[in-house]
Amino acid sequence: MTNVYTNLSFEWDLGNWPKCGKHGLSKEVIEYALNAVQLVREVQRRADSERRFQAVCLSPDGAYVFIVFVVRNRRIRPVSARPMHMKEVQKYEKDSQRKG
């Protein structure tokens, strides 16, 4: 799978880091995960709002991570990031086997 986000830098500030960090993931893990993305889909939003994406990614230790992000001025701005729950992992793996 080609990762179109590989050459983009990340945008961190007090507006997004506390929300992402509260689930126990470091900036390094989130950045690594988005460079090892497994699935990205656009979230349907109102026409006047920014395009948001949901990503299923792998952390350095192989755990699944769920990340919501936007792309602004060729920079990835994570909005939310957390480890995936076991039921989510099982559903993702089941769906992936069906499609693969």
Identify which of 25, 39, 33 has the alpha carbon closest to the alpha carbon of residue 93: 39
pLDDT of residue 2: 45
* Partners of residue 76 on adjacent β-strands: 10, 71
pLDDT of residue 98: 77
Asked whether residue 43 carries a pLDDT value surpassing 90, the answer given is no
Helix residue ranges per DSSP H, the chain:
17-21, 27-35, 86-99
pLDDT of residue 21: 93
Domains of the chain, by residue range, sit at 9-99
pLDDT of residue 1: 41
Sign of CA dihedral 12, 13, 14, 16: negative
Torsion of CA 37, 29, 17, 85, to 10 degrees: 70
pLDDT for 4-35, tens place per residue? 566 789 999 999 999 999 999 999 999 999 98
pLDDT of residue 97: 81
Give me the architecture of the 9-99 domain, per CATH.
Roll (3.10)
- Cα separation, 34 vs 37, in Å, equals 5
pTM: 0.85
